């Protein structure tokens, strides 16, 4: 189960794994993270910014979308250490 992270921690972890944030989407109620996968295109994932914390469902959803799960070689320990 994913744990609740602050938005700052979440951004740092995603950056560590090569996920970018769209700066033009920073003034709305959501921010947009994206990562390009060669031969497949760009995958994006919106995350609400209403609070300072990111709900665990968005953490686990982003990990799946950006292939940051154990089935793709990113262990929970590696995610927590990032």
Question: Model-level pTM greater than 0.85?
Answer: yes
- Looking at residue 49, what is its pLDDT? 87
Q: What is the pLDDT of residue 54?
A: 92
3-state helix, strand, coil in the chain (%, to 5): 40, 25, 35
In order along the chain (82 residues), what is the average pLDDT of each group of 10 residues? 84 96 79 94 92 91 95 92 89
Domain definitions of the chain by residue range: 5-81
What is the topology classification, in CATH, of domain 5-81? Metal Transport, Frataxin; Chain A (3.30.920)
Rounded-to-integer distance, Cα 50 and Cα 16, Å: 23
Longest dimension (CA), the chain: 35
pLDDT attached to residue 17: 96
pLDDT value for 38 = 94
pLDDT, position 26: 63
What CA–CA distance (Å, rounded) separates 78 from 82? Answer: 6
């Amino acid at each position: 189960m994913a744990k609740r992270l602050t938005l700052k921690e979440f951004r740092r972890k995603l950056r560590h794994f090569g996920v970018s944030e769209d700066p033009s989407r920073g003034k709305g109620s959501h921010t947009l993270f994206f990562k390009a996968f060669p031969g497949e295109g760009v995958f994006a994932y919106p995350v609400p910014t209403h609070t300072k914390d990111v709900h665990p469902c968005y953490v686990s959803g982003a990990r799946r979308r950006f292939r940051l799960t154990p089935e793709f070689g990113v262990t929970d320990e590696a995610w927590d250490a990032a």
